[in-house]
Amino acid sequence: MTEKRVITFSMVSAFFSANNAQLERGENSYSSGNVIRMSFDPSVTPALLKGEVKASMKGRKYCVELFVDPEDGITDAKCTCPRGQVICHHMAALCIHAHHNVSVTDKACAWNAPKSSKMEETKSLNEMFPPKKPNYCAVSRKATTAEVTDFKKRLNSHVVGFTWLLQAEPEETLLLLVPHIENIVFSSEYIDSENKIEYFKQKCALSQEKIKQIAEATCGQSSNENCLIARKYRLTASHFGAVIASCKRNRFSKSLYDNLLEGYNLNSVLAIQWGRENELSAIETFKAATGMEVLSTGLWLEECGYIGASPDGFVGEVPSLK
């Protein structure tokens, strides 16, 4: 630990005075060991601090540059992430790392994260806990593949923790149909494009044929992993009213962004659990009371590709249950 630091807390506080959220995320990133490389050159004016910080996406890293003056503090900063033209949490993580590791007496230096220890070989449960008796079986016979599949399906109709681990991998056809928002905004083409909004709109746009195919592939909503993937980072009907209200007030709260980015886990909310458990019963009651058939459906996106809705069912050709 150094005593006379190049990056002081007062410098960090002044630079992130209007971006406390990014500073908090930077603290978490630093604590997680996401700063993997750093170099410091005091021979230039202002002094140059460079580093590489891991992104939240696996295998991705961003290059950060900080320009530090002893009198004026942090005068400028750059990052190769999509937000890096303003202020991002990768800058904050590098600032905090430099605060603890660079002193004012240091010459040009470089630092690399120590290599992680070799991962242990993954073992199966049978290898970790071998049966004491050879060929021992606790049941009279082993379950068939059909019985296991049927059991998984019945689990999906109940609120059971980690049920998603039992679900099959998403179909490749859906991955080709639905443009992934995350892949678009982190692509080099998006970062280098002059008109990012226009590029984003072009990549998200969908044809009528693809819209129908996505709706078919996402039937089942929460019980269908395809629906969860297609909805991610898109504006759906359940959030549309909150967005319009925020636009009218011209105020956008942190809770709104958390909702849109699915930052809240609602599985423990009793109302959500009750709705999932009783949705099929409610539809059956509606069919018995009206004599009308309800056609199960999935996520319907608008042609723009980032606005949509997931009705519980279609009565005729018009969605009337939600």
Q: Which residue has the higher pLDDT, 232 or 303?
A: 303
Instruction: Give the end of a domain, one of 88, 112, 136.
Output: 112
Query: What confidence tens digit (pLDDT) does each residue in 136-157 have?
Result: 777 888 888 888 888 877 776 6
Q: What is residue 265's DSSP assignment?
A: -
pTM beyond 0.75: no
Look at residue 268 and tell me if it is in a domain: yes
Phi, psi (deg, nearest 5) at residue 300: -105, 115
Could you give the number of structural domains in the chain? 2
Cα distances from 180 to residues 57, 205, 216, 231, 264, in angstroms, run 13, 12, 18, 10, 21
Look at residue 137 and tell me if it is in a domain: no
Predicted pLDDT at 322: 42
In the block, residue with structure tokens 């059956």: 284
Q: Closest by alpha carbon to 175, among 244, 228, 103, 138?
A: 228
Query: What confidence tens digit (pLDDT) does each residue in 74-100 have?
Result: 888 888 887 766 788 899 999 999 888
| Contacts of residue 1, Cβ cutoff 8 Å, sequence gap at least 6 | 100
Decide: 204 and 225 in contact? Cβ < 8 Å.
Answer: no
Look at residue 121 and tell me if it is in a domain: no
Look at residue 3 and tell me if it is in a domain: no
Alpha-carbon 294 to chain mean position:
33
Dist. CA 221–CA 211, nearest whole Å? 15
Element (H, E) at 320: strand 318-321
Instruction: Give the end of a domain, one of 112, 132, 162.
Output: 112
**Do 309 and 169 sit in the same domain of this protein?**
yes
Dist. CA 217–CA 312, nearest whole Å? 15
Q: How would DSSP label each residue in 141-203?
A: SPPPHHHHHHHHHHHHTS--TTGGGGSPPPPHHHHHHSPPHHHHHTSHHHHH-S-HHHHHHHH
Query: What confidence tens digit (pLDDT) does each residue in 193-240 have?
Result: 889 999 999 999 999 988 888 888 888 776 677 777 788 888 888 888
The arithmetic mean of pLDDT across residues 288-303, rounded, is 86
Look at residue 139 and tell me if it is in a domain: no
**Do 84 and 170 sit in the same domain of this protein?**
no
**Do 200 and 317 sit in the same domain of this protein?**
yes
Look at residue 132 and tell me if it is in a domain: no
Helix, strand, coil content of the chain in percent (nearest 5): 45, 15, 40
Q: How would you write 190-223 as a 3-class SS string?
A: HHHCCCHHHHHHHHHCCCHHHHHHHHHHCCCHHH
CB atoms closer than 10 angstroms to residue 222 = 16
Cα distances from 42 to residues 70, 95, 168, 275, in angstroms, run 10, 15, 54, 61
Lowest mean pLDDT among 44-48, 312-316, 317-321: 317-321
Dist. CA 222–CA 156, nearest whole Å? 9
Mean pLDDT of the chain: 80
Range of the domain at 299: 145-321
